[in-house]
Structure 1
Amino acid sequence: NAYYSFSIYRECGKNNSSGFNYSFNSFYPCIAVLVEFRAVNHLVTIVHNVNHHIPLTWPIQIFHGKDNEAFIRNSTLAPLIASRKIFLTLMKQVYGKNRTNELLTDPKFWQHVYGEKVLFFQIDSAMCSNSPHKITDFLQYDYIGAPWNPSWYQWSKVDLVGNGGFSLRSRSKILALLALHPYDNNMPEDVWYSQNLRRVNGSVAPVNIAKTFAVESLYYERPLGVHHFPLRCTTRQKLFEACPEAMMVMPSTCISKNRMS
C-alpha cells in the first residue's frame, strides 16, 4: 500500500547511522546481498565498492561457504563485520551451471535474507561514483536490473528488465510469487522474474528507467552500476571513462574487430 511504500522509501533513504544499531536478529527495510563461495580478493574489492555507494543504514549480508569463511573474516572487511555492517551467513555450498537459478528461486533462501528491499549483487558487478543516480532513486520498483537487448527476447510480450547479477528486488513480492507460481526452470531466474512478478502486482521498472540503474548489453553513459557487459569496444571505452569502476569487472583493453568496433 501507499503508506508501506512511503515507509520503505523513508527508512531506506536515511544515510545517517547515528543511533542506528545493526543487529544479527533484525529485519531491515533495505539490505545488500552477495552469495559467493570462493576465496577471491575480488570479493573484498566489490563489497567495499558496494558499501561505499549504499546508505549507511543498509547492511550487507554475505552468504558464504565453509571454504571462504576464514578468508572473509581475515580480510579488510573485518572491521565492517565487527560493527555488524556486514553479516555473514553460512550456507551449504551449491555448485553447477544452474546454481544461481536454483538458489534465487528457492523460498528458503529468501526467508534467510534479512531485508525487504534487496540489492542483490555479484562480484562481476560494480557501482559507479560518477553517476548522478542513487540506489534510493529506484525503491518504488519491486524488480529492476540492467535491461537486455530487445532483439534477444523478441518472443516476449513485455519488456524484460533485467539482469539479476546487479538488481534491486522486493523480498515480499518474490516470496508471494514463488508461493503462487513455483519456478519451472524453463528460463533463467532473472528472465522469469521479469516476466512473472506482475502476477503478484509487482512493479517491474521500464527500460528507460532500468538503463539508468545498470548497464549490461544496452549502453547508457552514466549508470548507477554495471554488470559483466558484452559491449562493443568503442562503447566499452566510453563507459570506462564515465565509470572507471567498470574496469574492475571487465578488461580495460579490447581487441576490436570490424563487427565489434
Structure 2
Amino acid sequence: MHPPEMRARARALRARGHNIRSVARSLSLPYTTVWHWCVDRPEPAMLGSAVRCFRCRPDPENPPDPAAYAYLLGLYLGDGHLVTTDRVPVLRVYCADAWPHLIDLCDEAMRSVLANKVQRIQKRGCVAVQSTARHWPCLFPQHGPGKKHQRPIVLADWQREILTANAGHFLRGLFHSDGTRFANRVTVRGKQYVYPRYMFSNRSADIMALCQWALDLLGIAWRMNSRWSLSVARREAVAALDRHVGPKT
C-alpha cells in the first residue's frame, strides 16, 4: 500500500496537466496504479494551503509548529500507537490519569500538528488521547506492524532536521511518556543526601539512541545504568534538562 502523500502528489501532477505515463515515470509507480488514482477514482488535487498535511503538498514543507511536532513525536515514540488498519488512521497516545496536565498537552500538540478533533477515551488508569486523520501516517513514518522495539525506528531526513532544531521539545515528549524525575536518596558515611534525577526507560535500542542523540545536541550529560535505562544525574545536567522538560503534572 502506497502512503497517502504519494497519491496526493500523483493527483497534483495530473492536475497540472501531466499525463498518466509521465506521472508514473516521475514517481516510479506502475501506470495502472496512477490511472486508478487519477482516472478510475479521481479526487481533487490538494494544493497549497488546502492541505493541512505539510508533507503531502507538491513541494513538501516542515510543520507550521515544529516544536509541537517534535513534542508529539516524542510522545508517540514513548506511549503512542498509530492504527492504520481502520478505514481512517488513528493516532493514539496513552497518558496516565496521574498527570492530567500531560493529557492537555498531548491534546494541544495533536491539534497544532494536524488534528481537527481530538477524543479522550478513559481506560483503566489512563486516558487514550486520539485523533483520526488520513494523513497521520505521512507524519509518523515510524509506524508499522508489531511493537516498536521489535522493528527499526529510523528518522526521515526531514524529521531529523526538525528535531535538531527542537531537541528540547523532543526530549520533553520522550521524558513525559517514558521518563520520570524523582528525588534520589543516597547515604554516605551515615549522612543522607537527596538530589533530583531523571530516568528514561525504553526497550527499543533505536529510541534509546534517539534520546541519547538529543541529549548530546543540548550538551546534557547522561549515562546508561542498564540496557534499557538512561540516567541524568549530574547537578548541571539535571538543571539543563529542567529547562526543557520540567516535571509532569
- By the TM > 0.5 criterion, same fold? no
Higher normalized contact order (CA 8 Å, seq sep 6+, divided by chain length): 1
In our comparison, the structure showing a higher alpha carbon Rg is 2
Structure ranking higher in helix proportion: 2
TM-score (norm 1): 0.29
TM-score (norm 2): 0.30
